[in-house]
């Protein structure tokens, strides 16, 4: 499933497991290496298992590494991963990946748990001159929203398709990208989430005049 040899995985202690909303967990583990915000790690419950990839969802200076994930009920890793507790062992790879989002000005776009690398970037104080757009079906899936609002203020926009409150914009973020008069065409655009979101958003951005090379995506397949 990915290029990580199982022997390259390192045993680390789980330090916490928080249920953030229905089926979505934030697990922290001890941090055995330095990393760059935006990188991913491979994770397995057992060194003989095929690992899965996760964006690191914590700041570079934090004591622990965080991963944010949603449970796929038929999945191999996420159901048992959701049950780990402090003191258990997980197996993780060295960090890797090029979704570093260092160019600004930038627009960051996420759906669901695709917010993970952007949490790391904000916690790592690498969020100058950025706008963050986050889409979710329901209000309970804007993970870390209080922190992101505190750090980014009006540069943090929440789009919700099935519910609303005074903090959210009704509808899909794709609708906003299609219609806003205020789309910076020279920004870098960093997209993270499902392949369908990336396909839809890329098509809209290109139609609105953003250069293909200025659209960088991390797809959670
Ligand atoms: C670069 C990268 C970064 C990623 N970062 C994150 C992240 O930060 N957070 C995150 O949540 N995810 C992330 N992912 C996705 C993650 O790697 C896993 O794919 C995901 O967590 C599912 O793992 P799993 O082992 O539970 O499911 P898998 O066993 O891999 O199954 C994948 C899908 O197939 C379905 N499926 C499997 N078996 C069956 C079956 N018998 N019948 C029906 N359906 C079935 C499952 O429901 C699931 O939807 C990332 C992926 C990539 C490529």
Q: Which atom of ligand 1 is nearest to 74's Cα?
A: 47
For residue 75, the enclosing domain spans 6-92
Q: If residue 168 lies in a helix (H) or strand (E), which one and from where to where?
A: strand 168-170
CATH code of the domain in which 112 resides: 3.40.50.80
Task: Give one DSSP letter per residue of 207-220, joined into a string.
Answer: HTT--GGGEEEEE-
Domain count, the chain: 2
Same domain as 199, residue 112: yes
Could you tell me if the CB of 116 is within 6 A of ligand 1?
Answer: yes
Same domain as 161, residue 134: yes
Between CA 173 and CA 174, with CA 123 as vertex, the angle to 5 degrees is 5
Q: How many CB atoms lie within 10 A of CB 71?
A: 17
pLDDT score for 161: 96
Q: Is 99 inside any structural domain?
A: no
Is residue 35's pLDDT more than 80?
Answer: yes
Could you tell me if the CB of 52 is within 6 A of ligand 1?
Answer: yes
pLDDT score for 185: 95
Same domain as 173, residue 115: yes
Q: Which atom of ligand 1 is nearest to 79's Cα?
A: 26
pLDDT score for 5: 60
How does pLDDT run across 139-198, given as a tens digit for each residue? 999 999 999 999 999 999 999 999 999 999 999 999 999 999 999 999 999 999 999 999
Mean pLDDT of the chain: 96
Query: Mutate which of 45, 121, 220, 221 to test ligand 1's pocket (most atoms within 8 Å of Cβ)?
Result: 220
Query: Mutate which of 3, 72, 120, 193 to test ligand 1's pocket (most atoms within 8 Å of Cβ)?
Result: 72
Same domain as 202, residue 121: yes
Same domain as 207, residue 118: yes
Number of helical (H) and strand (E) elements in the chain, helices listed first: 5, 12
Q: Which atom of ligand 1 is nearest to 54's Cα?
A: 5
Q: Which atom of ligand 1 is nearest to 73's Cα?
A: 47
Same domain as 213, residue 111: yes
- Domain closes at, from 39, 67, 92: 92
Residue 171 vs residues 105, 121, 148, 161: alpha-carbon distances, Å: 25, 26, 20, 4
Could you tell me if the CB of 3 is within 6 A of ligand 1?
Answer: no
Average of pLDDT values for 75-80?
98
Could you tell me if the CB of 15 is within 6 A of ligand 1?
Answer: no
Same domain as 33, residue 82: yes
Same domain as 195, residue 167: yes
Query: How remote is the CA of residue 207 from the centroid of ligand 1, in Å?
Result: 31
Percent of the chain with pLDDT over 90: 94
Same domain as 152, residue 87: no
Q: Is 72 inside any structural domain?
A: yes
Same domain as 140, residue 74: no
Q: Is 86 inside any structural domain?
A: yes
pTM: 0.95
Band (221; pLDDT cuts 50, 70, 90): confident
- Domain closes at, from 92, 124, 158: 92
How does pLDDT run across 132-149, given as a tens digit for each residue? 999 999 999 999 999 999
Beta bridge partners of 131: 107
């Amino acid at each position: 499933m990915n290029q990580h040899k199982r022997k390259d995985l390192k045993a680390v202690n789980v330090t916490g497991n928080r249920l953030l909303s229905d089926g979505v967990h934030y697990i922290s583990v001890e941090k055995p290496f330095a990393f760059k915000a935006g990188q991913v790690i491979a994770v397995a419950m057992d060194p003989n298992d095929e690992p899965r990839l996760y964006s690191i969802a914590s700041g570079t200076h934090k004591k622990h590494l965080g991963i944010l994930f949603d449970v796929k009920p038929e999945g191999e890793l996420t159901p048992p991963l959701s049950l780990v507790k402090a003191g258990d062992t997980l197996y993780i790879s060295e960090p890797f990946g090029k979704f570093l989002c260092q160019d600004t000005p930038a627009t960051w776009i996420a759906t669901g748990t695709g917010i993970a690398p952007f949490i790391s970037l904000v916690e790592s104080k690498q969020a100058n001159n950025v706008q963050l757009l986050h889409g979710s079906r329901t209000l309970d899936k804007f993970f870390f929203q209080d922190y992101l609002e505190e750090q980014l203020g009006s540069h943090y926009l929440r789009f919700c398709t099935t519910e609303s409150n005074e903090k959210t914009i009704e509808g899909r973020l794709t609708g906003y990208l299609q219609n806003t008069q205020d789309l910076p065409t020279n920004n870098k655009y960093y997209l993270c989430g499902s392949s369908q979101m990336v396909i839809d958003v890329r098509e809209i951005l290109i139609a609105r005049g953003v250069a293909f090379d200025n659209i960088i995506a991390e797809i959670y397949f």
